[in-house]
Structure 1
């Protein structure tokens, strides 16, 4: 489970400048929402977007969804004011774009105080500094910015994302080492359900907690991909039961479906059941 103990299977970007989109998000089955003041808002609307978003969050209605505000970079004309506004909105975290080092998070924390911070990991320098970024005391989540990373790396598109694997892998290692939530990058072809499903499965296999999404049509696929399946839940329960029975007879291992079950497998099984229960609890709210 991620450090937040919340399901983060689907993390949907919503423009902070669009009242209709902000209202619609209240009824969408997203585990988390990134309220975007950066890329999704044109320059002429950036200042007004702060007030629009503040009003929406003050109105509430987002339930158990995690609320994350992505600000503009602190090197822009809007970043510092965004940060001050975001800290006052009661969001669960502030997301900083293009984090290159812990110094960037320090600069943000000077404005936002003890508000939890998330980092956009989308530059080669950021990937090389992933461990130091994940170790920041206020850092609780890392979001992969795969489009910007691909641009900086000058790669060509590949369905297997092989050119991005080195950077993504560094972030997964860093996030797991320091207990940060890990959210995979967006899938641009929002009408390509098979492609999205494959990329979600790849991300889950790598260890990501969920995926950032650009369209509500992507929610169901991401939620399914990052949820324990019925077979996984059944196996987890049988592994725990078999191991408990083996321990009761003085044995340190059990066998389930012809495979050895040890302490580490039981720990994973318990995490699977805990994640399933957390998802059920969130959906019941």
Structure 2
């Protein structure tokens, strides 16, 4: 959500997203940076039903130091750093102890994604496809073929370090079919979720990255088949004609944990 739009900030509390990023960077024009910071400060004084993250302007910009001071706000649940190309640090006038979400949106960021993900305090990596495509001089492609290597590199780095990888935004808010296709692709690549820029994208993202009732039922049945096999002294089981090992059971239990989390949401 752009930080310079107070009505949008108020509405963000009601949209049902899993988290909200309040943006001080690209979505805010230079002349509105200072007022956006104050609008965000006011918004953070109100209760939020979900974690709130703050996207800062990058180091070296005229606004970074003032953003860092706000980033220490105790109501924040995390800080989003744009165009990260090396293990991040938050050296400001006040200590920033919130988890860091590093945006990987440059070629150097992709090449250093593993080191960034391994840095202390990093909670996850967020793919920034727009800036990355521009830096790579690619052409628009409906299947994101020119970016697939970079997107997979972000997922690989995040998963290797136990961090959360989030897919990039989808720009055309009037194209729900395209958004659904990109969500399906992102989940297939291994992303854990999708960043969104319009309220209409929230529920489709939940549907794509969440667990349906049929999927949960299948996971329960697989775990039950495994328990029966183990109780009989067997090291493996079969379920729906396929071999089941501990790895498959762990995956099914993760699916059921996500199903339970959706219910709480």
CA distance in 2, matches of 1:56, 1:158: 38
TM-superposition CA deviations, 1:214-239 (whole Å, max 9, x none):
11111111110000122211110011
* Runs of 4+ residues deviating >6 angstroms: none
Structure-2 residue corresponding to 1:68: 53
2:27 is equivalent to residue 27 of structure 1:
no
CA distance in 2, matches of 1:85, 1:121: 23
Cα RMSD over matched residues?
1.3
2:84 is equivalent to residue 90 of structure 1:
no
CA distance in 1, matches of 2:40, 2:93: 22
TM-score, normalised relative to structure 1? 0.90
Structure-1 residue corresponding to 2:39: 52
TM-score, normalised relative to structure 2? 0.97
Structure-2 residue corresponding to 1:223: 206
Q: Is the 8 A contact 1:80 1:111 kept in 2?
A: no
Residue 122 of structure 1 is aligned with which of 105, 108, 126?
A: 105
- Give 5+ residue unaligned stretches, structure 2: none
- Give 5+ residue unaligned stretches, structure 1: 1-13
> C-alpha displacement at 1:113, in angstroms?
3.3
CA distance in 1, matches of 2:73, 2:214: 44
Residue 199 of structure 1 is aligned with which of 182, 186, 191?
A: 182
TM-superposition CA deviations, 1:60-85 (whole Å, max 9, x none):
2x21x221100101110001110111
Residue 161 of structure 1 is aligned with which of 123, 134, 144?
A: 144
Residue 216 of structure 2 is aligned with which of 233, 241, 252?
A: 233
> C-alpha displacement at 1:89, in angstroms?
4.8
Residue 163 of structure 2 is aligned with which of 169, 176, 180?
A: 180
Aligned pairs, number:
265
CA distance in 2, matches of 1:159, 1:193: 13
